[in-house]
C-alpha cells in the first residue's frame, strides 16, 4: 500500500513537471462596487453642450449596475432649452460598454448612448434634436474621461498588455476579469 502511494505520487509529480503552465491562463479579477463608480462619475458632471437651437445640460448622474449585465448605465437629469422658446427637464438613461486602457490602468465607458429619454410636453421635432445632442455629449464625454482608474483601491495601476476577458454585474458589484499577457 505504501509503495503504491509513493509510486502514484512520483507519477503525479512527473506529470506536473511536464505539464506546461501558461501565464495567460492566469487572470486578474477586479471588483468595483457601485459607490466607488458613483464617486468617480459624480466628478464628471454637470456638463452643458450648446447647439445653434438647443442647449442641453446633463447633471446628477446615478450609476446603474444591472444584475448579470456586462454594461454600465447612468441615469441623468436633463435640462434642455430650445432657441429660448421653451425649457424642459426630465430624465435620460445612458448605457455603455467598459473599455480598459492597460497602459494607464483607466476604465472608460465606450459606445455610450442615450437609450431612453423622458421629457414632458416636447414636440417630436425638438425631442429628436435634444436626444441627438445629448447622445453626442454623452459619447464625447465618456469616451475621453476615465470613469475609474486602477490604484484607487490598492490595485496595481499598470497591468501591461492586459485585456478585458469578461465583465459582469453580480450582487451590485462590477466584476472585471483581466486576461494577463
Domains of the chain: 22-179 (3.15.10.40)
Residues 73, 65 contacting (CB under 8 angstroms): yes
From first to last of its 181 residues, what are the pLDDT tens digits of the chain? 666 766 666 655 554 444 433 334 567 788 888 898 898 889 888 988 887 877 888 899 999 998 888 889 999 998 888 777 778 899 999 999 888 887 788 888 888 899 988 888 777 777 788 788 888 888 887 888 888 887 655 555 455 557 788 888 888 888 888 887 6
**Does the predicted TM-score (pTM) go above 0.85?**
no
Nearest residue to 96 (alpha-carbon basis) of 131, 133, 60, 70? 70
Peptide bond into 147 cis (omega under 30): no
Amino acid at each position: 500500500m505504501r509503495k503504491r502511494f509513493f509510486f502514484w505520487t512520483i507519477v503525479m509529480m512527473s506529470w506536473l513537471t511536464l505539464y506546461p503552465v501558461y501565464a495567460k491562463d492566469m487572470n486578474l479579477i477586479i471588483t468595483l462596487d457601485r459607490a466607488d463608480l458613483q464617486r468617480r462619475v459624480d466628478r464628471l458632471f454637470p456638463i452643458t453642450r450648446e447647439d445653434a437651437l438647443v442647449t442641453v445640460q446633463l447633471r446628477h448622474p446615478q450609476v446603474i449596475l444591472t444584475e448579470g449585465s456586462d454594461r454600465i448605465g447612468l441615469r441623468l437629469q436633463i435640462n434642455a432649452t430650445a432657441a429660448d422658446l421653451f425649457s424642459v427637464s426630465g430624465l435620460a438613461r445612458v448605457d455603455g460598454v467598459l473599455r480598459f486602457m492597460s497602459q494607464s490602468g483607466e476604465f472608460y465607458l465606450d459606445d455610450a448612448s442615450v437609450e431612453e429619454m423622458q421629457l414632458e410636453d416636447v414636440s417630436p421635432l425638438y425631442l429628436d434634436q435634444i436626444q441627438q445632442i445629448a447622445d453626442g455629449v454623452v459619447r464625447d464625454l465618456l469616451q475621453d474621461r476615465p470613469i475609474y482608474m486602477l490604484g484607487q483601491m490598492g490595485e496595481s495601476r499598470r497591468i501591461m498588455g492586459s485585456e478585458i476577458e469578461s465583465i459582469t454585474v453580480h450582487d451590485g458589484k462590477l466584476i472585471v476579469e483581466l486576461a494577463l499577457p
